[in-house]
């Protein structure tokens, strides 16, 4: 499915670049992807007994604000081709291509406790300097990490968690 999502995302990217609407669509696509990536939205979009008309009405209802015509038509196309379930992934592929064109990357940090704004900014600056790109960073909390954080950015994963350190120590002791 990832390949299909990537093809649809690339098609939307090519269309928005050709029509000069990349920036407008990209800004809205970030919000649309996040909304459609919720469990409830995924259930509605992937349910085989929910009709095309009902799925279109769901999209219209969720996005009561005016979506860019190309995004709206893109979502309608996915629904009509019975591919509504890949909408979040296709939009993620589109966003990745659009951000790369802008010289931006998305980073996602997950920590055991909430990071302060100054910590997020320091991490954003560090990653931006390392990659030479503008970084948009989002954060989440996962108490199971015990301490530390992990970072996902531009296809890379950095794990600096206490949980990982304990797993590594357990492996070393098992070998010892």
- What is the predicted pLDDT for the residue at 65? 72
Judged against a pLDDT cut of 90, whether residue 79 lies above it is answered with yes
Going from the N-terminus, what domains does the chain have, and what CATH number goes with each? 2-100 (1.10.520.20), 104-175 (3.40.30)
Query: Would you give the distance in Å from CA 10 to the centre of its chain?
Result: 15
Report how far apart, in Å, the C-alpha atoms of 142 and of each of 17, 33, 96, 121, 163 are: 37, 22, 25, 20, 11
Q: State the angle between helix axes of 87-102 and 2-19 in degrees (0 to 180), rounded to the nearest 10.
A: 50
Give the pLDDT confidence of 111-148 residue by residue, as tens digits.
Answer: 989 999 999 999 999 999 998 899 989 999 998 888 88
- What is the predicted pLDDT for the residue at 143? 87
CB 103 within 8 A of CB 21: no
Average pLDDT, the chain: 91
Judged against a pLDDT cut of 90, whether residue 27 lies above it is answered with no
Average pLDDT rounded to a whole number, residues 38-56: 92
The residue assigned the tokens 């509605």 is 44
Tell me 113's DSSP state: S
The residue assigned the tokens 């999209």 is 59
- What is the predicted pLDDT for the residue at 66? 80
Average pLDDT rounded to a whole number, residues 26-52: 91
């Amino acid at each position: 499915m990832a390949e299909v999502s990537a093809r649809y995302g690339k098609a939307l990217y090519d269309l928005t670049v050709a029509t000069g609407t990349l920036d407008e669509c990209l800004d809205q696509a970030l919000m649309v992807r996040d909304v459609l990536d919720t469990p409830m939205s995924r259930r509605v979009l992937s349910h085989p007994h929910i009709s095309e008309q009902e799925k279109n009405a769901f999209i219209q209802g969720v996005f009561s604000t005016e979506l860019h015509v190309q995004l709206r038509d893109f979502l309608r196309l996915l629904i009509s081709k019975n591919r509504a379930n890949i909408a979040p992934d296709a939009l993620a592929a589109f966003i990745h291509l659009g951000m790369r064109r802008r010289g931006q990357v998305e980073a996602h940090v997950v920590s055991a406790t909430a990071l302060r704004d100054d910590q997020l900014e320091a991490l954003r600056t560090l990653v931006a300097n390392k990659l030479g790109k503008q970084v948009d960073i989002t954060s989440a909390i996962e108490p199971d990490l015990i301490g530390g954080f992990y970072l996902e950015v531009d296809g890379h994963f950095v794990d600096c968690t206490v949980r990982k350190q304990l797993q590594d120590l357990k492996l070393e002791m098992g070998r010892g």
